Structure 1
Amino acid sequence: MDEVEVVVAHSERATLRVGDVFLKVDADQARVDVEVRAMALAPVPTPEILWRRPPVLAIAALRGTTLGRLGGPATGSTAAWAAAGAALRKLHDAPLPPWPGRAGRSVAALTAELDDECGSLVRDGILPADLVTRNRQVAEAALRPWTPAFTHGDLQIAHLFVDGDEVTGIIDWSEAGQGDAFYDLATFTLGHEDHLDDLLAGYGADVDLDVIHAWWSLRSLLAVRWLVEHGFDAFAPGCEVDVLRSRM
């Protein structure tokens, strides 16, 4: 019998792997509903859904490997990164899904959330004030009107698979919906700034680099405390705190 591998587990959800099957356990069925609907609408390769019996969603493993992980080395050829960019452009150009996503919070709501989080990071002694202040300044460029796009909403580098130079699939769509396309681009290249040009070569659209840089800071500021509280190491080399330090 295949061993059971715990891919990720925290208080909100868990993902297990048994052979070529991933079992996603999530008590929030509305979040799973979004994932299933988004995969059905997305014009890019997604995993096959094998079955769903709440609170479990079973999906098939994808062919290939990821282009890396946050805090680890990036892999893949320049062409593979360009292929990832082309897949993101296809997604962002697709008809909008009929619901807002994580990347679609209003500027006012996002600003309020960011200000509250920055205050907590300093007040609780998680990060030094100068680091938070500088990155809050950088993040300002992301707080602007944006044209809605079909966004993945949590497009970490580990969520896109390639086989050679071909994108074989994108996983974890529970945060998908209408949002800022630059958020996806920034999330995918977080901690791997040296591959941004390769990604954009395939994306093929005008991109405001200041906004990408701003989303690196903004996403990291919002993530650090949650990661610490849920047992993840945001201070590991190459991860969120290093991303914030690079803005100094």
Structure 2
Amino acid sequence: MDEVEVVVAHSERATLRVGDVFLKVDPDQARIDVEVEAMALVPVPTPEVLWRKPPVLAIAAVPGTALGRLGEPSTASPAAWAAAGAAVRTMHDAPLPPWPGRGRGLDELAADLDGECERLVANGVLPADLVTRNRQVAEAALRPWTPVFAHGDLQITHVFVDGDEVTGIIDWSEAGQGDALFDLATLTLGHEEHLADVVAGYGTDVDLDVIRGWWSLRSLLVIRWLAEHGFDPTAPGCEVDVLRSRM
């Protein structure tokens, strides 16, 4: 009998693996609706939806292995990273999905960032100079952008490869009309050494300062949430190290 593996679990949702089946438990049915529709529309490899019975969505595992993990060296080849960049470009070139993204507008995002920076310093979570420097770097990401079909949570563990080919992209619950460079930044967070490979595969010029801005912005916004939900943003190579790399 297959064992039950807890892939991720916190107060908002949980994902379990039983053999070659992933069970996503999410009381927010809007997220599940987005995930199912996005996988049906996007022109890149995605998991097969096996069945759905709220609040559970069952999907098949995709072949291959994750491109890597945050905080660990990636064993994937430069060609695999480039293939990931090419797959992301295919997604971004697809027709826009008929729903907006779930992200915040620029004014709201800037206000949230400023508030989070104040809390990080006031509560002694991070040194003031580290927060101030990264708030400056993050400013580059706070600019108008042309929406694309965006994944919205394109973490390195959400892209699967076999050799030098992308076999599947998973976890589409945040998909929508979004910023292309946010996707590229999320994919390369903590793996700056592979940014050039991803950009080469993406096949067009990108503003690297904006990508670095998103690294700082995203890290500043999630550190408290991660700590409160059982994750360690201070682990080697993770969010706090990402912030330190900008000093």
The TM tier, using the shorter chain, reads over 0.9
Structure-1 residue corresponding to 2:221: 222
- Equivalent residue, structure 2, for 1:119: 118
Q: Secondary structure at the match of 2:109?
A: helix
Percent identical: 81
Check whether the contact 1:105–1:179 (CA below 8 A) recurs between aligned residues: no
Give SS of 1:17's match. Answer: strand
Task: Give, in whole Å, the separation in 1 of the partners of 2:182 and 2:135.
Answer: 16
CA drift at 1:123: 1.5
What is the alpha-carbon distance in structure 2 between the residues aligned to residue 72 and residue 31 of structure 1? Answer: 29
Tell me how far 1:105 sits from its aligned partner: 2.7
TM-score normalised according to structure 2 size: 0.98
Unaligned runs of 5+ residues in structure 1 are: none
Matches within 5 A, 1:1-248: 1-102=1-102, 104-248=103-247
The SS at the match of 1:52 is strand
Query: What is the alpha-carbon distance in structure 2 between the residues aligned to residue 124 and residue 175 of structure 1?
Result: 30
The CA RMSD over aligned residues, in Å, is 0.8
Mark the runs of 5 or more structure 2 residues left unpaired by the alignment: none
Deviations 1:45-100 (A, max 9, x none): 10000000000000000100011100111121111111100000000111111222
What secondary structure, in the 3-state scheme, does the structure 2 residue paired with 1:105 have?
Answer: coil
Deviations 1:119-149 (A, max 9, x none): 1111222111111111000000000110101
After superposition, what is the alpha-carbon deviation per residue over 1:90-120, rounded to whole angstroms, capped at 9, x for unaligned? Answer: 0011111122224x53211111111111111
Q: In 2, distance between residues paired with 1:51 and 1:198?
A: 36
Q: Distance in 2 between matches of 1:35 and 1:118?
A: 31
Partners of 1:228 and 1:77 lie apart in 2 by: 32
Q: Is the 8 A contact 1:139 1:215 kept in 2?
A: yes
The 2-side partners of 1:174 and 1:119 are apart by 30
- Normalised to the residue count of structure 1, the TM-score between the two structures is 0.98
* C-alpha separation in 2, matches of 1:175 and 1:113: 19
CA distance in 1, matches of 2:120, 2:94: 37
Rounded Cα–Cα distance in structure 1 between residues aligned with 2:75 and 2:220 = 26
Instruction: Judge conservation of contact 1:150–1:179 (CA < 8 Å) in 2.
Output: yes
Partner of 2:196, secondary structure, is: helix
Q: Look up the equivalent residue of 2:131 and give its one-letter code.
A: V
CA–CA distance in 2 between the matches of 1:59 and 1:217? Answer: 33
State the distance in 1 between where 2:51 and 2:8 align: 20
* Moved segments of 4+, more than 6 Å: none
Instruction: Measure, in 2, the Cα distance between the counterparts of 1:37 and 1:229.
Output: 31
